[in-house]
Structure formats: structure tokens, C-alpha cells
Amino acid sequence: MKRVVWVFVALFATTASPAQSKKELMDEITRLKQELEDSKKPKPVNVETEVDRASYSIGVLMGTSLKSQGGDSLNVRLIEAAIQDVLYGKELKVKREECSGIAQTYMTKTMELRNTKRIEEGKAFLAANATKAGIQTTASGLQYQVVTEGTGKKPGPTDRVTVHYTGRLTDGTMFDSSVERGQPATFGVNQVIAGWTEALQLMSEGSKWILYIPSELGYGARGAGGDIPPHAVLVFDVELIKVN
């Protein structure tokens, strides 16, 4: 930053050399600005030693936990600064006894806001989707589209089925796929989320459907691991291969 300031001072406090054109001066300013921006970018890290790997691993665990709780809106540099202050015995900017309450209040508020937004987005998605050609909606709110109508038998609630499927979020993010694994899945009709249990009993062997599953027929407020957030509407491509 000091170099950039020095260049501007040199430009306006002295007379430029006749040999140095205005274009050259502007090119130099542009170059120094780029250097400044590059200095702000995260530098590559090495995880070669045992200490490095352990340090990075602790960071991964902390980051994963924070992200799952909506903490990706936090100021990472201040988290780093606080850790350094604690480890090196520096004076804390916030009293230790206040930290738990402050953090809990913020994280709870952040999660509530995100959940509210996700619920509203899910309702809007399903409402718009219901108006599209070929989409059918059941009394429970399950939506489906028939891609191929099979001619085989339909499973009952206690049957086992073999299926191929791909699961995505409404933004297209894939979170699971038997197709990608190259191995169909077999399970009980009543051993899966409610949206699947309902849909499978409507399908015949050989059918290929697209399911649009409301959160309350999926994983609801708890979500599923790090891949399916709370209150997520789920989209599945499902092929019912066999009723066992």
C-alpha cells in the first residue's frame, strides 16, 4: 500500500520526467494496484509435516462445524486473530465469559434467518413447479412427473424394491446417485423418506419418474449430513427396476 501512495505523491508533487510518458505512469499505477490486490488473496499452504497436517485438520473440523451451523458468514480473519490471542496469551478483545452467549445468539439468529429463507424458497419452487406441464401433485404435496410409464407390478408398503436414482437440490447440486456409482439400490418401501414411500407405491416396474419432494416429506428441519440442508426440497430421478 505504501508503494501505491508513494507513486501518487511522486506524480503530483514533482514534475514527471520528459522521458516518462503519461501512459507509462498509468501502467505503473495499474501494476502496483494489481500487486496490492494480489497481496490480499489467500496464499497457498503446505501440509507436509505432522504439525502442519494436524493444524490443517483441526481447521477443517472447525470449518465444517461452523459451516453446518450457518457460520460461513463469520469473519474468518477475526477467528484466526482470536485463536492467536488465546494461544499466545494476548489481551482478549471480548471478555471470555461473554463469548459463549454472544456466539450462541449470533449462530441461532443466523440459522433461523437461513431456515426461514429456505422454507420460503422451497414453497415458491413447488408453487411454480406445480404449474408446469406434466407435473402432478398428490394430496400430501408430493409432486411427480412421469418420464416413462412402466407396465410391471406396483410395490406394496412392505415390499422391497430395486431402483436407480439421482438426487439433487433445487439448484441442481447432486447429493447422491446410484447411477454414478454404477450399482442400483435395494431397500424396503417403508425404510425411506415419506416422499419415496408414497411415490414408489404409485409406480409400476419399468417406470421412470421425476420426484419433487417437499421438505416435510423428506428430511425436514434436521436435514441430512452436510449435503442436504434443513428444510430442503429434494428432486429425484427414479427408475423402478424391480419389485422383489
Does residue 193 carry a catalytic annotation? yes
For 177-214, the DSSP string reads EHHHHT--EEEEGGGS-HHHHHHHTT--TT-EEEEEE-
Does residue 165 carry a catalytic annotation? yes
CA angle 181, 187, 191 (to 5 degrees): 125
Residues 6+ apart with CB under 8 A from 185: 162, 163, 164, 165, 178
Point out the catalytic residue in the list 144, 212, 213, 219: 219
The pLDDT assigned to 42 comes to 64
The pLDDT assigned to 243 comes to 96
The pLDDT assigned to 172 comes to 95
Alpha helices in 41-95 (DSSP H): 50-68, 76-87
Does residue 219 carry a catalytic annotation? yes
Point out the catalytic residue in the list 176, 187, 210, 237: 176
Does residue 144 carry a catalytic annotation? no
Does residue 12 carry a catalytic annotation? no
Does residue 236 carry a catalytic annotation? yes
Residue 232 near residue 219, CB atoms below 8 Å:
yes
Point out the catalytic residue in the list 119, 193, 210, 237: 193
Point out the catalytic residue in the list 175, 187, 210, 237: 175
The pLDDT assigned to 49 comes to 92
The pLDDT assigned to 29 comes to 73
Which regions of the chain does DSSP assign to beta strands (E)?
A: 135-137, 143-148, 160-169, 174-177, 185-188, 208-213, 234-243
Point out the catalytic residue in the list 165, 212, 213, 228: 165
> Would you tell me how many other CB atoms lie within 10 Å of the CB of residue 211?
23
Q: Is the full-model pTM beyond 0.85?
A: no
Point out the catalytic residue in the list 212, 228, 236, 241: 236
For every one of its 244 residues, what pLDDT tens digit does the chain have, with 9 covering 90 and above?
444 444 444 444 444 455 556 677 777 777 777 766 765 666 677 888 999 999 999 999 998 888 877 777 889 899 999 999 999 999 999 999 999 999 999 988 988 998 999 999 999 999 999 999 999 999 999 999 999 999 999 999 999 999 999 999 999 999 999 999 999 999 999 999 999 999 999 999 999 999 999 999 999 999 997 789 999 999 999 999 999 9
